[in-house]
Amino acid sequence: MSSTEQSKTKLNQTPTTQRMSWIHKGELTLIERLSANILKAGPMPKHVAFIMDGNRRYARKLHVERQQGHTQGFDKLAETLRWCLNLEIREVTVYAFSIENFKRAKDEVDGLMELARQKFSRLLDEQEDLEKHGVCIRVLGDLTLLPLDIQKLIAQAVLATKHHNKCFLNVCFAYTSRHEITNAVKEAAWGVEQGLIKPSDVSEFLLDECLYTNNSPDPDLLIRTSGEVRLSDFLLWQTTYSCLVFQSILWPEYSFWNLCEAILQYQLNHQALQKARDQHAEARVLQQLEADRCCAADLLQQTGLGKPVDPQLRQEALQKYTAEREERVHSFLTALQEKRDRFFTDLNKGFIASAKA
Amino acid sequence: MAVVYEFVWRMLHALLHLQRTLLSWNWRLWRRAMTAVLVPTVFGFQNHPHNNKKLIPTGGKKSCCRVLWKSDGKSLEKLPLHIGLLIAEEETRYTDIANLVVWCMAVGISYVSVYDNQGIFRRNSSRLMDEILKQQQELLGLDSLKYSVEFLNNSNDKPEQQVLSCQATVKVLSPDDGKTGIVTAAQKFCQLVEQQQKRSSDLDVNMLDSMLRGTKGMPDPDLVMKFGTVDSTLGFLPWHIRLTEIM
């Protein structure tokens, strides 16, 4: 049997209930477990990002409907999550739907929205399972671009799993990195408008916290399937020091061994990337110190009377300024988090109200 | 049992490191020949009868090389408008980078960016510029007058040379142009908001894009060629590499 026929047979054999589930049932085989243990002897990525490319090409290859390709893609996601759990990779981010994808043919977009509806509804059915595994689901993107009923389903799913903390799944839906960065700058500007922060408080750290991914560490490893070697507007800010692995396999055909191969690449790059990351962090601290020093000196000049300032006074002014800046930033970030939580709770209230009606 | 796993892991990584070292030795031995072939084959989207191994610039063959480069460039179906060179190697080799830049120009690429993670090229940009001009003379000889190189410095917006035919623009980048550039643009926008010249809701992707592009307005890189063993962008212009092919 050719590999295409094998895949088709497998497609027809997988039971429907398993096909719909977010968490794949099944354990690793002995060989897989042994390989996993060998890999775990080295540094393991704590956060892996996937660009799940190749669903449509897979459907074309098997001569089935595109929609089936996407459904298979979702099943593969469930399987991959299971592998990540087995490999103790606690956080996974996936690129499910780009804002650019809205430009695709209407029936394909509608099909994807319908798939999203089914999956997020299914999620609510599987709450017990998710609680058992401690899975926290976050959906990142400009959710206001989605149909309202999907927004409400997402809000329910996010709120239901909010307090789980064993592992994290971030689904990028209606997302592009440029929109995310623009949104982060907008939030900072909102902070300035509200009088919570000053323009000079805006730093790399602040923008980090304004992104949709503020509750996650940067990905250690980014994997893109189907052979394309682009980032396609995915986590551009967050992956500056991530290990990028481009694999030519199509997403629905992804295997445990492909994942191991990617992790091996990560392990080979680990030291160099760690070094680069540390250098960047040091440079960032120095930049912030320098910026604080300038601001504190400006303030002193304004309040001083043109007299030369002694180092002791300068140092005190610097410490005071830094403490005040950190205080401002902290209250701004608290306000931002409240604003974001309110978005979901408002949607949820609307959902419950319409359900009762 | 854990000890066994660790032992196997170490063996596996030792083998992989050995493989990498052997490959890099091979690379150094055939560096000239390989890089001379690599540049046209990376650009080459179709097989080309002149794409031979004789592109090593040596004395008498120089003139025929230049003709070959020009015809190589013209024969390709599609040339990238802007190429980024991401140098992730430990040693900084100015001559090799200068060679690459000149080759890019000769094939017809309009914009070339040179980036390294530690900002070494940025700090020594005048040395790199001198090297590029020197290589331009050496490799292109009489033709070099036709190719004018415009070096973009962040401090001055005026071009250093006049615009002639076959003009190329070279820009030297560092991590300061990446995230730090975005932070600076964000601060500027916030200042406008503070002065009530703009509202936070006025900002959109296009506005931020034009703020980041600045007055020179270089297009986004179509292709980034990475040199070195690290599989990462290491901070190369995060905003601009949205659709860039990374090799």
Answer yes or no: do B180 and A204 touch at CB < 8 A. Answer: yes
Closest in B20, B208, B243 to A182, CB measured: B208
Answer yes or no: do B179 and A229 touch at CB < 8 A. Answer: no
Nearest to B212 by CA among B232, B241, B233: B241
Closest in A37, A184, A273 to B230, CB measured: A273
Q: With the C-alpha atoms ordered A298, A301, A307, A309, is the resulting torsion angle positive or negative? A: negative
Q: What is the pLDDT of residue B21?
A: 80
Inform me whether the pLDDT recorded for B86 exceeds 70. Answer: yes
DSSP per position, A274-327: HHHHHHHHHHHHHHHHHHHHHHHHHHHHHHS-SPPPPHHHHHHHHHHHHHHHHH
> At CA B139, angle to CA B135 and CA B144, rounded to 5?
85
Q: Which residues of A touch B199 (CB under 8 A)?
A: 189, 193
Helix (H) or strand (E) holding B224: strand B223-227
Q: Pairing mode, if any, of strands A91-98 and A243-246? A: unpaired
Q: What is the pLDDT of residue B37?
A: 63
Closest in A193, A232, A243 to B231, CB measured: A243
Q: What is the pLDDT of residue B58?
A: 35
Counting one residue from chain A and one from chain B, the pairs whose CB atoms sit within 8 A come to: 153
Q: What is the pLDDT of residues A297-323, one digit of tens each?
A: 888 888 775 566 688 888 888 999 999
Cα separations in angstroms, B192 against A192, A205, A291: 10, 21, 19
Say how far residue B37 (Cα) sits from the centre of its chain: 17
Q: Which residues of B touch A240 (CB under 8 A)?
A: 178-179, 232-236, 238
Helix (H) or strand (E) holding B168: strand B168-173
Q: Which residues of B touch A186 (CB under 8 A)?
A: 200-201, 203
Beta bridge partners of A171: A94, A139
Q: What is the pLDDT of residue A178?
A: 94
Distance CA A243, CA B231 (A): 5
Residue bearing tokens 């060998």 = A38
Answer yes or no: do B193 and A192 touch at CB < 8 A. Answer: yes
Answer yes or no: do B246 and A230 touch at CB < 8 A. Answer: yes
pLDDT band at B61 (very low <50, low <70, confident <90, very high): very low
Cα separations in angstroms, A270 against A274, A331, B174: 6, 36, 22
Name the residue with higher pLDDT: A49 or B236.
Answer: A49
100-159 in B: which are within 8 Å (CB) of A? 117-118
Asked if A192 contacts B190 with a C-beta cutoff of 8 angstroms, the reply is yes
Nearest to B192 by CA among A299, A298, A199: A199
- What's the mean per-residue pLDDT of chain A? 88
Q: How far separated are the first and last CA of chain A, in Å rounded?
A: 55
Q: What is the pLDDT of residues B163-208, one digit of tens each?
A: 334 567 888 888 888 899 999 999 999 999 999 888 888 889 999 9
Closest in A193, A202, A207 to B200, CB measured: A193
Q: Which residues of B touch A276 (CB under 8 A)?
A: 117, 230, 232, 234-235
Inform me whether the pLDDT recorded for B133 exceeds 60. Answer: yes
Inform me whether the pLDDT recorded for B213 exceeds 90. Answer: no
Inform me whether the pLDDT recorded for B14 exceeds 50. Answer: yes
Inform me whether the pLDDT recorded for A115 exceeds 70. Answer: yes
Average pLDDT estimate for A39-65: 92
Comparing A8-17, A208-217, A327-336, B225-234, the range with the smallest average pLDDT is: A8-17
DSSP state of B234: T
**Angstroms from A238 CA to nearest CA on chain B:** 9
Answer yes or no: do A189 and B200 touch at CB < 8 A. Answer: yes
Distance CA A354, CA B112 (A): 57
Closest in B190, B235, B243 to A240, CB measured: B235
Exposed, middle or buried: residue A53 (CB in 10 Å: 0-12, 13-18, 19+)? buried
Distance CA A344, CA A139 (A): 11
**Angstroms from A357 CA to nearest CA on chain B:** 34
pLDDT band at B44 (very low <50, low <70, confident <90, very high): very low
DSSP per position, B71-114: HHHHHSS---SEEEEEE--SS--HHHHHHHHHHHHHHT-SEEEE
Distance CA A204, CA A188 (A): 11
Closest in B229, B242, B246 to A178, CB measured: B242
Q: What is the pLDDT of residue B23?
A: 79
Using the CB atoms, write b or e for A334-345: b if 16+ within 10 Å: ebbeeeeeeebe
- What's the mean per-residue pLDDT of chain B? 74
Q: What is the pLDDT of residue A282?
A: 93
pLDDT band at B49 (very low <50, low <70, confident <90, very high): very low
Closest in A188, A189, A231 to B241, CB measured: A231
Closest in B12, B187, B203 to A186, CB measured: B203
Residue type, A127: Q
Asked if B82 contacts B219 with a C-beta cutoff of 8 angstroms, the reply is yes
Q: What is the pLDDT of residue B199?
A: 87
Nearest to B117 by CA among B196, B233, B219: B233
Q: What share of chain B is helix, strand, coil (3-state, %, to 5)?
A: 50, 10, 35
Comparing A60-74, A251-265, B108-122, B156-170, the range with the smallest average pLDDT is: B156-170
33-52 in B: which are within 8 Å (CB) of A? none
Answer yes or no: do B16 and A203 touch at CB < 8 A. Answer: no
Q: Which residues of A touch B6 (CB under 8 A)?
A: 41
Q: What is the pLDDT of residues A134-172, one digit of tens each?
A: 999 999 999 999 999 999 999 999 999 999 999 999 999
DSSP state of B61: G
**Angstroms from A36 CA to nearest CA on chain B:** 9
Q: What is the pLDDT of residue B189?
A: 93
B23 is written with which tokens?
């490959």
Rg (C-alpha) for chain A, rounded Å, is 24
Q: Which residues of B touch A204 (CB under 8 A)?
A: 179-180, 183
Residue bearing tokens 């002639």 = B164
Percentage, residues of chain A above pLDDT 70: 90
Task: Based on DSSP, count helices (H) and strands (E) in chain B, helices before strands.
Answer: 8, 6
Q: What is the pLDDT of residue B120?
A: 84
Inform me whether the pLDDT recorded for B95 exceeds 60. Answer: yes
Inform me whether the pLDDT recorded for B22 exceeds 90. Answer: no
Distance CA A181, CA A267 (A): 29
Answer yes or no: do B204 and A267 touch at CB < 8 A. Answer: no
Distance CA A275, CA B71 (A): 43
Q: Does the reported pTM lie above 0.90?
A: no
Distance CA A350, CA A116 (A): 19
DSSP state of A219: P
Average pLDDT estimate for B236-245: 89
Name the residue with higher pLDDT: A127 or A169.
Answer: A169
Inform me whether the pLDDT recorded for A246 exceeds 70. Answer: yes
Beta bridge partners of B223: B83, B245
- Beta-strand ranges (E) seen in A141-292 are 167-175, 221-224, 243-246
Distance CA B236, CA B86 (A): 7
> At CA A25, angle to CA A19 and CA A26, rounded to 5?
120
Around A220, how many Cα atoms within 13 Å sit in the side-chain half-sphere? Answer: 22
**Angstroms from B236 CA to nearest CA on chain A:** 7
A139 is written with which tokens?
């959906």
Q: What is the pLDDT of residue A108?
A: 87
Comparing A58-67, A226-235, B73-82, the range with the smallest average pLDDT is: B73-82
Answer yes or no: do B208 and A178 touch at CB < 8 A. Answer: yes
Distance CA A39, CA A84 (A): 12
State the virtual CA torsion across B224, B229, B233, B235 in degrees, nearest 10. -120
Q: Which residues of B touch A267 (CB under 8 A)?
A: 13
Give yes or no for B199 touching A (CB within 8 A). Answer: yes
Inform me whether the pLDDT recorded for B46 exceeds 50. Answer: no
Comparing A18-27, A82-91, A110-119, A324-333, the range with the smallest average pLDDT is: A18-27
Q: What is the pLDDT of residue A9?
A: 57
Helix (H) or strand (E) holding B150: strand B149-152
Distance CA A178, CA A235 (A): 9
Answer yes or no: do B232 and A276 touch at CB < 8 A. Answer: yes
pLDDT band at B52 (very low <50, low <70, confident <90, very high): very low
Q: What is the pLDDT of residue A183?
A: 94
Q: What is the pLDDT of residue A176?
A: 94
